[in-house]
């Protein structure tokens, strides 16, 4: 087992193994450095470049006036044929508790919270927002076919969290238009 008497074969093999190990060590270090660089860049980037559009609103006065006063909540048919749905989340319900939207129509959800952070999710779709007090959460969507979907709060918001959910009812486009001709704001709360 002394070096002086070792045949040349194993020596070369050991050298080769060492070179391979060193190469892999360098690659591992490079990967770690790259990951640190990515994390650093994204942290700095997201701090320095805020969201393109931030809308704020005072959660204490939602019920007194403005866009989220109760009489303005629900679905509104816009002049361009699209639909805007406004709703508020609060411990432990959504207002309205049933959102009415037409199928095959561009829909914009505009939501906010009156107290703590809530979640807005429409089951079976990729509609998923956080409702943060002080901010308006806005998202465009389109529903292909009539139907009904659950809309559970998915951010833990207190002891009543699991009972906080609403429904989204998708109706035929013509049926929605007929209802919209009679009412300024629509919902499917019975």
Considering only the stretches 7-15, 59-67, 156-164, 174-182, report the one whose residues sit in contact with ligand CUA under the rule CB under 6 A.
156-164
Question: Three-state SS across the chain?
Answer: CCHHHCCHHHHHHHHHHHHHHHHHHHHHHHHHHHHHHHHHHHHHHHHHCCCCCCCECCHHHCCCCCCCCHHHCEEEECCCCCEEEEEEEECCEEECCEEEEECCCCEEEEEEECCCCEEEECCCCCCEEEECCCECEEEEECCCCCEEEEEECCCCCCCCHHHCEEEEEEECHHHHHHHHHHCCCECCCC
Residue with smaller CB distance to ligand CUA, 101 or 153: 153
- Site string (78-117) toward ligand CUA, x via CB under 6 A: -----------x--x-------------------------
Residue 77 interacting with ligand CUA (CB under 6 A): no
Residue of the chain from 83, 99, 121, 153 that contacts ligand CUA (CB under 6 A): 153
Residue of the chain from 77, 102, 109, 118 that contacts ligand CUA (CB under 6 A): 118
Residue 133 interacting with ligand CUA (CB under 6 A): no
Distance of closest approach, residue 95 Cβ to ligand CUA, in angstroms: 12
Residue 166 interacting with ligand CUA (CB under 6 A): no
Residue with smaller CB distance to ligand CUA, 85 or 166: 166
Distance of closest approach, residue 114 Cβ to ligand CUA, in angstroms: 11
**CB distance 110 to 85 below 8 Å:** yes
What b/e string do you get for 78-88 counting C-beta neighbours within 10 Å, with b at 16 or more?
A: eeeeebbbbbb
Residue of the chain from 99, 155, 170, 186 that contacts ligand CUA (CB under 6 A): 155
Kindly list the residues in this chain that would bind ligand CUA in the complex (CB under 6 A). 89, 92, 118, 153, 155-157, 161, 164
């Amino acid at each position: 087992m002394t070096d002086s008497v070792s045949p040349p074969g194993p020596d070369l093999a050991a050298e080769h193994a060492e070179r391979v190990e060193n190469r892999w060590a360098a690659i591992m270090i490079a990967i770690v450095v790259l990951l640190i660089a990515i994390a650093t860049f994204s942290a700095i980037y997201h701090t320095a470049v805020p969201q393109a559009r931030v809308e704020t609103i005072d959660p204490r006065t939602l019920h007194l006036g403005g866009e989220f006063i109760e009489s303005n909540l629900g679905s509104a048919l816009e002049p361009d044929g699209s639909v805007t749905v406004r709703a508020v989340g609060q411990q432990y319900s959504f207002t309205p508790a049933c959102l009415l939207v037409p199928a095959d129509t561009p829909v914009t959800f505009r939501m906010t919270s009156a107290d703590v952070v809530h979640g807005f999710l429409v089951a079976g779709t990729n509609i998923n927002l956080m409702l943060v007090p002080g901010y308006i959460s806005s998202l465009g969507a389109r529903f292909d076919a009539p139907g009904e979907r659950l809309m559970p709060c998915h951010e833990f918001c207190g002891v009543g969290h699991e009972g906080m959910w609403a429904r989204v009812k998708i109706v035929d486009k013509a049926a929605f238009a007929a209802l919209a001709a009679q009412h300024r704001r629509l919902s499917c709360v019975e």
